[in-house]
Amino acid sequence: MTGLTEKTARAHIDDRTWTRGATYTNGLTRLTRQPDGDDQHLRGTAHGTDHYEMLVTLRAGTVRDAVCSCPVGGGGRCKHVAALLRRALIRPGDFVALPSLDDLLGPLDAPALRGVIRRMLDHAPDLIGVLLSAPGGGTGLAERLALAFDTVDYDPDHDWNDEGADLSDIGDMTDELLEACSDSPVPEALNAVRAFVDGLDAIHDEVDTGADLAHAARTALLLLLGRDLNDTHRADTLNLLIQCLHLHAWHPAEIDGTGQRELYLNLPPERRAELLGVLDGASENLTTYRRAAITRVMLDLDREGLMPAEHALHLARRDGHVHHLIERLIPGDPQAALQELSTRRLPLRDVHAAFQAAGHADALLRHAETNPKLPGARLYLFEQYRAAGRQDDARRIALDALTGKGRATFVTDQRDANVFLYRVGPDGPEQVDPVHTWVDRYRAVSLDWATDLQELVTAWQGDPNRLATLINLLLDAGQNERAAQVMGRRDPLKVLAGPLAVRYALALPGAEATPLILKLVTQAVAQGNRDGYRAAATMLRQASAVIGAEEARSAAALLRAEHPRRRSLHAELGNAGF
């Protein structure tokens, strides 16, 4: 009937929900199947604490879409949908075959269709949104948009799945809105986009309208600005665009991804200047945060440089858009761009492409070599040296980053092996990179890892902040005895984090390992939860090969005796073979 198999059905529903659906399978009623092109629609009603309607759409034997009217059925993965799929598998003949929608609607004339729609709205009043979003209705686009926003109904107390308001009917009208702003008479288009923006404005405090609708509004307004507008219409359009700034953040991804930059660039120069002036004026009395967002929009739209360079640089400096500032300076004054880099915390790799495009990549490399304290300077140098085949220089940079040699000072206060390098700057410690990442880079350019590792051992063994990382590296290299020598008389439990302490203990000879492993087991049990008990049991199982099976069984028996009422602990010990 549908090509559905148990495998494809269960791919849509998790195992637990699939099992729960069995209770409802035999009680389903009003079962129908209906073809729709390449799809098959299965419908049914489930009966529980209430009556729930289900719709499952199949294509080529797989579930393409599903929905249920139960509180958790919006995604179509509830127990009622599971029941419907089960019924389709075990008794497909129970589904009444309906004609396709085309076959049902094709013979109906306009009066008959209106009658059908009226009856459908009587049964499901929410479908009025579908009717309002249909193009070419009896009312204009502006009126239909206003009605669609007025009929948005959202109650967060009944939004169990946190899905937000259903704005799909309004979203369906955005293409019509964009067409209107391109081709319809200007007054009609302006009225439509005003209804759209006013509608968003009216509901956005209570409803998350998402980014897409705000994107559509701004794109529509840019389309309208590209037309031959009189002064009044142009002023209204610009005012609506300012209103849109506060509906949803205007990000660079929107400008790049929705064709808005092209629409801006297609405006005559005087219109672009006017738009930038309006945006600039709108930001004057805002907080620094909100003003910076508008400045970013201006700089992103005007990457071609219509705005006077001095004003663009002023805006970028004022509102902290360092990347834009550097990019604006590079072509005409690369030395000024480098000077800005020296005073602003922007990773060098982030501006490499701009320097390279302007033919000044060598100047940036020399700047990094001269100023290794700049954010990301070592990483930038390492990457550039390695790309150029300068392995020795790359190795030197990696070693410098790891050992803290040179003009940078590094501090850390973490016990596990994945500590971070910090550079002490004028504003305090600044995170640079995880140590293990630089170790991987160092290893990648090493010609003799055993010798280079020994160099790290020599540099780090007296530094308590590097001890955990050093122990981890030595264990990785199989140098267990050397790891024990470096640890010396220090207490591993005070130096190493849990997993690394376990790994270190298991690398020791049996006599030295036993007391440390027993301490770790005791610590894990002291957590008093299932995870701790599982960790303790796992450690004892792993330790059997080191401290001996008899010693491990004895420790497990002692734990049972000390904690006779901790059933979870006993169960985890049993799972581990004790």
pLDDT of the chain, 578 residues: tens digit per residue: 568 999 999 999 999 999 999 999 999 999 999 999 889 999 999 987 788 999 999 998 899 999 998 888 777 899 999 999 999 999 999 999 999 988 888 888 878 787 777 877 777 776 776 666 666 544 688 888 888 888 887 777 776 666 677 777 788 889 989 999 999 999 999 999 999 999 888 887 777 777 788 899 999 999 999 999 999 999 999 999 988 887 777 877 888 788 888 898 899 988 988 988 888 888 877 788 878 888 888 888 887 777 777 888 888 888 888 888 888 888 888 898 888 888 877 788 888 988 998 899 999 999 989 888 787 888 899 999 999 999 999 999 988 888 865 433 333 333 334 333 333 343 333 344 567 788 889 999 998 988 888 888 888 877 777 788 888 888 888 888 988 888 888 888 887 877 888 888 888 888 888 888 888 888 888 988 999 899 888 988 988 888 888 998 998 899 999 999 999 999 999 998 98
Q: Token digits for 165?
A: 């308001």
Tokens 């376990």 map to which residue? Answer: 502
User: Exposed/middle/buried for 462, CB within 10 Å: 0-12, 13-18, 19+?
Assistant: exposed
pLDDT of residue 416: 36
Name, in order, each residue with C-beta under 8 angstroms of 84's C-beta and a sequence gap of 6 or more.
28, 31, 42, 44, 46, 54, 56
What distance lies between CA 271 and its chain's CA centroid? 37
**pLDDT single digits (tens) 491-524:** 888 878 778 888 888 888 888 888 888 888 888 8
Cα 63 to Cα 72: distance, rounded to the nearest angstrom = 18
pLDDT of residue 120: 77
Beta bridge mates, 34: 41
What distance lies between CA 197 and its chain's CA centroid? 28
Spatial contact of 177 and 220, defined as CB atoms under 8 Å apart: yes
Cα 381 to Cα 245: distance, rounded to the nearest angstrom = 40
Cα 353 to Cα 80: distance, rounded to the nearest angstrom = 54
pLDDT of residue 510: 81
Residue 21: name the closest of 94, 84, 92 by CA. Answer: 84
Cα 32 to Cα 105: distance, rounded to the nearest angstrom = 18
pLDDT of residue 501: 84
State the pTM of this model.
Answer: 0.55
Buried b (16+ CB within 10 A) or exposed e, 130-164: eebbeeeeeeebbebbbbbbeebeeeeeeeeeeee
Distances (CA, A) of 562 to 465, 496, 555, 557, 559: 37, 27, 11, 9, 5
pLDDT of residue 407: 32
134 φ/ψ angles, rounded to the nearest 5 degrees: -75, 125
Amino acid at 487: M
Q: In 124-267, where does DSSP find H-type helix?
A: 128-132, 141-150, 168-171, 174-183, 186-203, 210-225, 231-245, 252-257, 260-265
Q: Token digits for 36?
A: 């729709």
Tokens 């701004």 map to which residue? Answer: 218
Spatial contact of 460 and 403, defined as CB atoms under 8 Å apart: yes
Q: What is the dihedral of CA 223, 228, 231, 236, to 10 degrees?
A: -20
Beta bridge mates, 42: 33, 56
Spatial contact of 226 and 267, defined as CB atoms under 8 Å apart: yes
Spatial contact of 217 and 193, defined as CB atoms under 8 Å apart: yes
Tokens 């009043």 map to which residue? Answer: 125
Structural Rg of the chain based on CA atoms: 34
CB atoms inside a 10 Å sphere around CB 59: 15
Cα 78 to Cα 76: distance, rounded to the nearest angstrom = 6
Name, in order, each residue with C-beta under 8 angstroms of 514's C-beta and a sequence gap of 6 or more.
547, 551
Distances (CA, A) of 40 to 3, 93, 120: 10, 15, 21
Cα 43 to Cα 35: distance, rounded to the nearest angstrom = 12
pLDDT of residue 415: 36
Cα 466 to Cα 211: distance, rounded to the nearest angstrom = 46
**pLDDT single digits (tens) 310-366:** 888 888 888 888 888 888 888 888 898 888 888 877 788 888 988 998 899 999 999
pLDDT of residue 517: 87
CB atoms inside a 10 Å sphere around CB 327: 20
Beta bridge mates, 564: none
Residue 79: name the closest of 5, 19, 159 by CA. Answer: 19
